């Protein structure tokens, strides 16, 4: 990422409104019809309206959005989210984000469930929200461990279904009445298609929105491709054209890593006072380095190494300068398909003192939660390059 771009982005982070406990990312200077370098088709609003009108009956809709990468799935999910609120049928909407590389409301490397209670109508604003529940996957590509990736999604859907989506007695005022939007990644070819099929069969959505680009070879198979031959789908299939790339947009020239770094910068920016002036990434790095880190006992921490890392070859120092998931061992999903506990936050391991049995950790989560953390989850995610000690 160019120094000028980082400086502008980080400067913007110092003056943002916080959506507790996450701050928003800086809005790009683009028109209301362009988002992340893509032009939004007007037909998308019609598709979102049709789903909202269908949602007048019980149970609430479960909408599964899929298609190739960079076609606008996340944008459509935001439009649909706000449309469901505008219909004033729901006070809350569930949002299951399965894209570990380019999530909509969370930091990369996580699979998360959000329960959103208000509109976010400005599509030019990228914002991070507090997840209802999430699991730290530790990589920005689902291919790193497709089996656990699928099980993570199943766990989150099970949690949502049990707590917010009950088929019996839905008319009772004391029962949850929450629709769900499932946003997916663009990994839809080869084994990625098998993964998508597994998720679709497990969730069994009421609506499947297939975003299709002009190049047919990049699209998903036709019809209810996730069912066995002869089976009929109970889901309504809605096909929409992909958003068009705006070649003149600055945001279209930024690669995926840029957006990931910005999200991590936004997350760790909240370790500092909200009103602190931060004009550049160098200042952000300096201020983060000046923070008094949390101290936790190394001997009380269980380190979980993800994605087939050989724990016998790993040392505690391999944690340094890594973004790690923070978890509490007693907080395992009740329908656990994997043993990974719910994530309570992310941290950066600044250093480790073996003699003092101490890990020095930088994280925005509050002290009373840090005191309960006894699991560090290490994947392959390192701190953004611009925050590295050797970067000048």
What is the mean predicted confidence (pLDDT) over 152-171? 81
pLDDT digits (tens, 9 = 90+) for 172-186: 555 567 899 999 999
List domains and CATH numbers for the chain: 38-245 (3.40.50.300), 292-382 (2.40.30.330)
User: Over the stretch 113-140, which tens digit does the pLDDT of each residue have?
Assistant: 999 998 876 766 667 888 999 999 999 9
Q: List beta partners, residue 382.
A: 322
Tens-digit pLDDT profile for residues 239-276: 999 887 754 443 444 567 888 888 998 899 989 998 88
Q: Judge contact between 178 and 115, C-beta under 8 A.
A: yes
Q: What is the chain's mean pLDDT, rounded? A: 82
**Is residue 3 pLDDT above 70, yes or no?**
no
Query: Does residue 13 or residue 345 have the better pLDDT?
Result: 345
Sheet holding 244-245, edge to edge: 34-35, 38-39, 244-245
For 153-179, give one letter per residue: b (16+ CB within 10 A) or e: bbbbbbbbbeebbeeeeeeeeeebbbb
């Amino acid at each position: 990422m160019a120094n000028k771009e980082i400086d502008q982005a980080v400067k913007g982070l110092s003056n943002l409104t916080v959506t507790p406990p996450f701050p928003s990312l800086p809005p790009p200077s683009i028109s209301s019809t362009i988002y992340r370098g893509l032009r939004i088709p007007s037909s998308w609003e019609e598709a979102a309206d049709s789903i909202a009108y269908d949602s007048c009956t019980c149970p609430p809709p479960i909408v599964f959005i899929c298609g190739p990468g960079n076609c606008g799935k996340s944008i459509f999910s935001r439009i649909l989210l706000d449309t469901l609120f505008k219909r004033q049928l729901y006070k809350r909407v569930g949002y299951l984000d399965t894209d570990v590389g380019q999530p909509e409301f969370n930091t990369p490397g996580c699979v998360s469930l959000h329960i959103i209670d208000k509109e976010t109508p400005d599509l030019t604003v990228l914002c991070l929200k507090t997840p209802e529940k999430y699991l730290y996957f530790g990589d920005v590509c689902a291919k790193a461990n497709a089996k656990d990736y699928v099980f993570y999604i199943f766990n989150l859907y099970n949690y949502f279904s049990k707590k917010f989506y009950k088929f019996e007695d839905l008319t009772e005022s004391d029962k949850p009445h929450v629709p769900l939007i499932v946003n997916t990644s663009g990994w839809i070819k080869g084994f990625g298609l098998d993964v998508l099929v597994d998720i679709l069969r497990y969730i069994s959505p009421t609506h499947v929105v297939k975003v299709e680009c002009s190049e047919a070879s990049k699209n998903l198979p036709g019809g209810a491709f996730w069912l066995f031959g002869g089976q009929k789908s109970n889901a309504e299939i809605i096909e929409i054209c992909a958003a068009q790339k705006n070649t003149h947009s600055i945001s279209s020239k930024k690669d995926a890593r840029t957006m990931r770094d910005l999200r991590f910068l936004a997350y760790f920016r909240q370790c500092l006072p909200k009103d602190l002036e931060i004009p550049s990434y160098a200042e952000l790095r300096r201020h983060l380095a000046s923070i008094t880190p949390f101290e936790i006992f190394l001997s009380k921490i269980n380190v979980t190494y993800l994605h087939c890392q050989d724990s016998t070859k790993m040392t505690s120092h391999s944690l340094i300068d890594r973004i790690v998931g923070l978890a509490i061992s007693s907080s395992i999903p009740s329908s656990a398909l994997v043993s990974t506990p719910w994530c309570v936050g992310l941290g950066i391991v600044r250093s480790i003192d073996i003699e003092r049995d101490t890990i020095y950790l930088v994280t925005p989560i509050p002290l009373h939660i840090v005191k309960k953390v006894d699991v560090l989850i290490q994947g392959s995610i390192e701190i953004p390059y611009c925050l590295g000690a050797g970067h000048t």
